[in-house]
Amino acid sequence: MLALGKLLELTLVGREPAAKIQLTPEGARLRWLAEGALEITPPAGLDSGLDLLLSAGIHGNETAPIELLDRLLHGIARGELKPRARILFLFGNPEAMRKGERYVEQDINRLFNGRHEQSSGFEALRACELERLSATFFNQAPADVPRQRLHYDLHTAIRGSKIEQFALYPWREGCRHSALELARLKAAGVAAVLLQSKASITFSAYTYAQLNAEAFTLELGKARAFGQNDGINLEMLEARLKCLIENTEPALEPDNLDGLQLFAVAREIIKHSDSFHLNLPADIENFSELPIGYLLAEDIAGMRWVVEEKGTRIIFPNPKVKNGLRAGILVVPTSAAAL
């Protein structure tokens, strides 16, 4: 196997490879760009036109997606997986991965779309670097064939979920959500999609809004340590990614989204002060339904969040976030007619 296929090993020990470029026997090029960053270029004349950004490890303790990307890279480096797409593999927060922690100083996934410029420290610098690597990758694509840009930012959640595998679809002004991309997610085993309706500061929101990529944050089960992810079944996603890489994807059915649950954001719960209190059990699962009239949270100066919307569910409840950040999202069911 080509040494650059061991990107995860290199990242976990903090080593820079001696050879920065290697070729598979078929002519695909592997190029090391920076720590945790590897670009794949298909052999000459075999480019499908897909520019595929696959990121994981934005949170260092979310290991199942990291292991998935490692398997894909090994397949390419061994010649078992024959790329016809340009691919950028990114391990987002190498230092947090080495420590087995969600982050070192601050959450990288709250530092995109200009937010890193208002901060400092390792994670702010890394968010800036990830933006630069992504922009360069997409913008340097050859122009000899029509291009499609796609970004999957792969995560696992802090807590359990009543819907284990779901996606967040960012918002961009003047742009409609794509039924074709929703059909692709359904085929990859994603059971639900949250259609966002405002700007965000996550990695996928950056690539969607600033780089015109179809971009998604994928939540793929609960965070566990390396080697302990047998309970997370990513077979459908892995198979779909292999098809995208090799340009063998079966036809999609954008007119048939039956079985894919769609949700819209009703409200975000923002923590304003250290007085913030979230009235939920610590072990509550994502997509737990809340009754109308329920006092969800309280904060300084009499601020209260009361559930008003029928069918409301909570996702990402986290009262430990820094002041000014989102401590939870209230979502409600919607339909494909909202696209």
CB atoms within 10 A of CB 244: 23
Q: How far apart are CA 71 and CA 76, in angstroms?
A: 9
Among 39, 131, 219, 285, the one annotated catalytic: 219
CB atoms within 10 A of CB 175: 12
Let me know: does 194 contact 265? Beta carbons within 8 Å: yes
Amino acid present at 92:
G
Per DSSP, 250 falls in state P
Q: How far apart are CA 186 and CA 245, in angstroms?
A: 18
Q: How far apart are CA 106 and CA 207, in angstroms?
A: 20
The HSE-up count of residue 276 (CA atoms within 13 Å, CB side) is 21
- 3-class secondary-structure state, position 166: strand
Q: How far apart are CA 288 and CA 304, in angstroms?
A: 20
Q: How far apart are CA 161 and CA 222, in angstroms?
A: 8
Phi, psi of 295 (to 5 degrees): -80, 105
* Displacement of CA 137 from its chain's centroid (Å): 17
> Annotated catalytic, 219?
yes
- The DSSP element (H or E) to which 13 belongs, if any, is helix 7-13
Length of the chain: 339
- State the binding site for Zn(2+): 59, 62, 155
- State the binding site: 59, 62, 155
Based on DSSP, count helices (H) and strands (E) in the chain, helices before strands. 7, 16
- 3-class secondary-structure state, position 158: coil
Paired sense of beta strands 86-91 and 50-56, if any: parallel
Question: Cα torsion at 201, 37, 47, 184 (round to 10°)?
Answer: -40
The residues that are catalytic are 219
